[in-house]
Structure formats: structure tokens, C-alpha cells
Amino acid sequence: MSEGIIVIKKGREKPIIQQHPWIFSGAIDSVRGDPTPGDIVTVTNHEGAFLARGYWNPRSQIQVRILTWQDEPITDDWWRSRLHRAIKGRDRYVHLYSQETACRMVNAENDWLPGLIVDRYGDWLVLQALTLGIDQRKTLLAGLLMEIIAPNGVYERSDVDVRGKEGLKAAVGELAGQPPPERITITENDFSFQVDVRHGHKTGYYLDQRANRAILKDVCLERAASDTQNEQVRALNLFSYTGGFGLYALGGGAEYVVNVDASREALELAETNFVLNRFASDHAEFIQADVFDYLHDQVAEGALYDVIVCDPPKFAHNAGQVERAARGYKDLNLNCFKLVKPGGYLMTFSCSGAIDADLFQKIVFGALADSGRQAQIVKHLTQAEDHPVALTFPEGAYLKGLLLRVY
Ligand code: SAH
């Protein structure tokens, strides 16, 4: 076995030099040596000059994920120092929100650790290995995380579809330390949430929406304070999952929130979370329904809300799905516009990486035009700051949203 060398086609080295971390099969001229899938390989230009080093998977369209642009060996110490840097980068976050007990610690390509997600929930870490290169090293990485962060344990939630593109099956279970309890209680902006890291979505919870949930609370506070007709603020939380936005709405003085989700388990946990935060049950409703159908019925009934949050799952998984996804977003937003009281707010999101912020804004504009309403952009919204985006990796900015005032 000899070290693998990946030779890049002449004229295709520019993105690599500009530190984009992905090398697609079409940019590769030849593979020299005898690498095994998952191995560390050296990337050179057509003249043999060093460009980068990364891990290799010939089964994936992204054949190399770059780990470093320096000619340095990828040792256990290398992984330790990369993890350390990502974790240190969260110090600012920990300092800003000292009471918080949940945080993304490693954000894959954006922390120059492609394919690796690590989220902290209280005393446990949840690891997601999205690629073969990370999957092969997950025991080493879990051990290093035990050493650096000293959690009670590291649990794996590598049950995501993208692993299929790497030739990997789902993998779930303990990687290091003690197994996590059925539910972990976290604190976020003074609210408590129970997180099911074993069965919940992603690694258990949508940490990326933390800052936007806090913005929603402020919106509700303003709306409650400015309500001259002394009417109570009613909020609609679409795609509620475990109730995050809904809880913040009540925390911001909303009188009533309707949470809608297709998942019974998510709604059960949402109800538990409302009780945990001492909100009386007559202030919230938990409706299991398809949001598209529910909105249709609400419009027919002439329902109105002061504040609506619309946070659907990813509709476009690739460029080929953008058109269909756009129709879905437009339909949702059109009905949302119809349901907002004049002067009320719509907070609307897309987490589809294939739909950028400009396109999303155009889609929402299209929905507005059909609704006959008027709206202002009050804020552009994005993912929370523990989900930073590497400047050389625009794909990292997947969550976009608009806070709109609607008349
Ligand atoms: N806003 C949430 C996260 C939403 S994730 C938070 O801050 O935690 C998207 C949710 O949409 C999931 O809970 C999923 O169960 C739900 N979902 C997906 N498709 C749906 C549909 N057509 N109707 C209702 N809910 C749906």
C-alpha cells in the first residue's frame, strides 16, 4: 500500500487554491498510488506540486474533502488541535450566553472538519459522521472529544440520508462514556427544553433557530405592548417540532399559541416543554396536521393571527428539486399572508441550501403579490452564531428567513 496522490486536471485547481473544501470527480485527472477508500490523500496539480491534503472516497461525487492546505501530516494530534480550535471558537458564545447548556461545537466544513457535526446537550455530546472519512475515524474523534470537553458521554446520530451518497448506512449508538438518558433537559435563553437525542430530529433539537426564537419573543412583546384595542396576541407556530417558537411567543406575552406539526411524538414533547416552563395548558394548542391542509382550512374559516412563524423542513435537497420546492414555499407563504392581522408579523424560513436568500425573497415576494397584502422586511434572519459559515464555503449558509410586517 502506498500513499494516494490525487492529481488535479490542468486549469481545475483554482477552487482548491481558494480553499473550497470539496473536490468533485470531474476535477480529478488521475489517482496514483494505492489508496483505500477513506484514506488520507495528497492533492497535487498536474505538475506534481502540492495543493492540499484530505480524505478520499471514490464512491462519492465529492471524492476528496480537504482537511488542510498546508503540507502537514494528518496525525491524531492534528485532529486534536482542529477540534480544539473549533471548541475554542465557541468561547465567545459561551461568554455571551453563559446560562446556555446546548450549543453546536463543531460545524463540519465551516470549522474545517468536513463531514463532522458535534452538538452539546448538557453533559452529553451528539456526533454525526456524514462522510466515510469521518465515519472511519469516529472512535478516535469521540475519544478526543472526551479528552477536550470531558462530557459524560458521546452519542452517535449518524442516521441521515446524505450518508447514502458516501456508501454508508445509518449508525446510531454510544461512542464513548455513558449512554445519554431518554431526555436531556437544556436551558436556552431562560427557557427549558427536553431533548430526545436518541430519536429527535437532527441531533435532537434545532439549535440553529435559537437567535430567531429570541427575536420572535421581542416581536410578541412589541405587539402585546402596542395593542391599542386591548386584544390578546394570538400566535401560530407552523412546523412547530417540540414547541420552540411557540414557547418564546408565550414568553413574549402572547395570550395564545397554536402549534401545528405532522409528528405526534414532536407535539407530545412540545406539550411537555410547555408544562416544564409553567405555561398553563389553556394558552396553547397542539394540532397534528399537514400544515398545507391546515392553512387552507384556516383561510377558509377567515382565521387571523398577530404573529405567524413558518419554519418548514428542507423542501429542496438538490438543484433539481428547486422548482417544486419554490411552489411549496409560495403556497405556504401565500396562505400565511392571508392569515396575518394588519400590522402583524410573519417570520418565514427556508433551510434548503439549494435555495439562496435572494431566490427565497423572490418566492416570498411572489406570494405577497398574489395575496394582495403589503409587507415590509423588518429583518433578514439566518442561522445562530454557533453555526458559523466559512467564507470560502458559501454552501454553509443554509438557513435564511425574513421577518415581515404585514398590512
Ligand atoms: N421550528 C422548529 C423546527 C421545525 S423542523 C424548531 O424551532 O424547533 C420541521 C418540522 O416540520 C418537523 O417537526 C416535522 O415533523 C414537521 N413537518 C414536516 N412536514 C410537515 C407537514 N407537511 N405538515 C406539518 N408538519 C410537517
Whose cell is 435572494? That residue is 358
- Which pLDDT score, from 0 to 100, does residue 91 have? 85
- 235-238 long-range CB contacts below 8 Å, 24 or more apart? 235/305, 235/306, 235/307, 235/308, 235/309, 236/260, 236/298, 236/305, 236/307, 236/308, 236/309, 236/339, 237/309, 238/291, 238/294, 238/295, 238/308, 238/309, 238/310, 238/311, 238/312, 238/332, 238/336
- Closest Cα to residue 6, out of 18, 26, 20, 19? 26
Is there an atom of ligand 1 within 6 Å of 244 CB?
yes
Q: What is the mean pLDDT of the chain?
A: 96
Mutate to test the pocket of ligand 1, among 239, 317, 349, 399 (most ligand atoms within 8 A of CB): 239
> Is 290 a pocket residue for ligand 1 (Cβ < 6 Å)?
yes
* Contact in structure between 171 and 157 (CB atoms under 8 Å): no
Query: Is 262 a pocket residue for ligand 1 (Cβ < 6 Å)?
Result: yes
Could you tell me the three cell numbers for 394?
Answer: 458559501
The pLDDT tens digits of the residues spanning 298-324 come to 999 999 999 999 999 999 999 999 999
What is the reported pLDDT for 210?
Answer: 96
Q: How confident is the model at residue 229 (pLDDT cuts 50, 70, 90)?
A: low
Residues involved in catalysis = 351
Least confident of 96-105, 112-121, 167-176, 361-370: 96-105
pLDDT one-digit tens code per residue, 142-188: 999 999 999 999 999 999 999 999 999 999 999 999 999 999 999 99
What are the structural domains of the chain? 4-68 (2.30.130.10), 76-181 (3.30.750.80), 207-406 (3.40.50.150)
Q: How far apart are CA 28 and CA 121, in angstroms?
A: 40
The whole-number pLDDT of residue 274 equals: 97
Separation of CA 144 and ligand 1 centre (Å) = 34
- Tell me, using a 6 A CB cutoff, whether residue 313 lines ligand 1: yes
Tell me the three state secondary structure of residue 314.
Answer: coil
How remote is the CA of residue 328 from the centroid of ligand 1, in Å?
Answer: 14
Residue 250 has pLDDT above 70, yes or no: yes
Q: Whose CA is nearest to atom 12 of ligand 1?
A: 241
| Per-residue pLDDT at 97 exceeds 70 | no
Residue closest to 184 by CA, chosen among 173, 175, 172, 197: 197
pLDDT of 36 over the 80 cut = yes
Residue % of the chain over a pLDDT of 70:
97
Alpha carbon of 239 to ligand 1 centroid (Å): 3
Q: Read off the pLDDT band of 373 (50, 70, 90).
A: very high
Check residue 228 and give its pLDDT: 62
Mean pLDDT to the nearest integer, 13-34 = 97
Give 118-137 pLDDT, tens digit per residue.
999 999 999 999 999 999 99
pLDDT band at residue 281 using 50, 70 and 90 as cut-offs:
confident
Index of the ligand 1 atom closest to the CA of residue 205: 8
Give the confidence band of 330 by pLDDT, cuts at 50, 70, 90: very high
Q: Would you state the pLDDT for residue 93?
A: 73
Statement: residue 231 has pLDDT above 90: no
pLDDT > 90: what percent of the chain?
Answer: 93
Query: The pTM is what?
Result: 0.96
What integer pLDDT is reported at residue 224 of this predicted model?
A: 86
Q: Is 226 exposed, middle or buried (0-12, 13-18, 19+ CB in 10 A)?
A: exposed
- DSSP for 55-103? EE-TTSSEEEEEEESSS----HHHHHHHHHHHHHTTHHHHHHTTT--EE
Q: State how beta strands 40-44 and 4-8 pair.
A: parallel
Is there an atom of ligand 1 within 6 Å of 381 CB?
no
User: What pLDDT score was predicted for residue 295?
Assistant: 98
The response to whether residue 239 sits with its C-beta less than 6 Å from ligand 1 reads yes
Secondary element (H or E) of residue 362:
helix 357-371
